[in-house]
Amino acid sequence: MRVLIVDDHPIVIAACQALLADEAEMIVTAAADAAGGLASFAAEAPEVCVIDINLPTVSGLELAQQILGKDAEARIVIFSINDDPVFVARAVDVGVKGYVSKSGDPNDLVVAIREVGKGGTFLPSRSRGDAPVADPSVAANRLAQISAREARILHLLVAGQTLAEIAKLIGVSYGTVANDTAIMRHKLGVRSTRELVQLAAGMSTNLPS
Residues 84-127 have pLDDT tens digits of: 777 787 888 888 999 998 888 888 899 999 999 998 888 875 44
Q: Report pLDDT digits (tens) over 5-33.
A: 999 999 999 999 999 988 888 999 999 99
Q: What is the pLDDT of residue 141?
A: 60
Q: What is residue 132's predicted lDDT score, i.e. its pLDDT?
A: 39
Domain end marker among 109, 127, 145: 127
Query: Mind giving me the DSSP string for 8-24?
Result: S-HHHHHHHHHHHTT-T
Q: How many domains does the chain have?
A: 2
Residues 121 and 156 in one domain: no
Q: How far apart are CA 207 and CA 156, in angstroms?
A: 12
87, 53 Cβ separation under 8 angstroms? yes
**86/103 same-domain check:** yes
- The whole-number pLDDT of residue 186 equals 74
Let me know whether 16 and 69 are in one domain. Answer: yes
Query: Quick one: 115 and 163 in the same domain?
Result: no
- 9 and 109 assigned to the same domain: yes
CATH number at residue 88: 3.40.50.2300
Give yes or no: residues 77 and 142 share one domain: no
Q: Where is average pLDDT lowest: 127-136, 142-151, 158-167?
A: 127-136
Report yes or no: 46 and 67 within 8 Å, Cβ to Cβ: no
Q: Which of 94, 127, 160 lies at the terminal end of a domain, its last residue?
A: 127
Q: Are residues 78 and 166 in the same domain?
A: no
- Full residue range of the structural domain in which residue 181 is found: 136-206
Residues 45 and 119 occupy one common structural domain: yes
| Other Cβ atoms closer than 10 A to 56 | 10
194-209: average pLDDT: 65
Q: Are residues 181 and 155 in the same domain?
A: yes
- Which residues have a Cβ under 8 Å from the Cβ of 37 and sit 6 or more positions away? 4, 6, 31, 49, 51, 55, 63, 67
For the stretch 47-78, pLDDT in tens is 999 999 888 888 899 999 999 999 999 999 99
Inter-CA distances, 37 with 13, 47, 77, 112, 162, Å: 13, 14, 13, 19, 32
- Any idea what the CATH number is for the domain that residue 182 is in? 1.10.10.10
120 and 144 co-located in one domain: no
Considering only residues 154 and 41, tell me which one the structure prediction assigns the higher pLDDT. Answer: 41
**Over the stretch 153-199, which tens digit does the pLDDT of each residue have?**
988 888 888 888 899 999 988 888 888 888 887 777 777 777 777 77
Same domain, 155 and 84: no
Q: Mean pLDDT across the stretch 136-145?
A: 58
Q: Does the pLDDT value for residue 135 go beyond 50?
A: no
pLDDT of residue 75: 96
Domain-ending residue, one of 70, 102, 127: 127
Give the pLDDT score at 43: 96
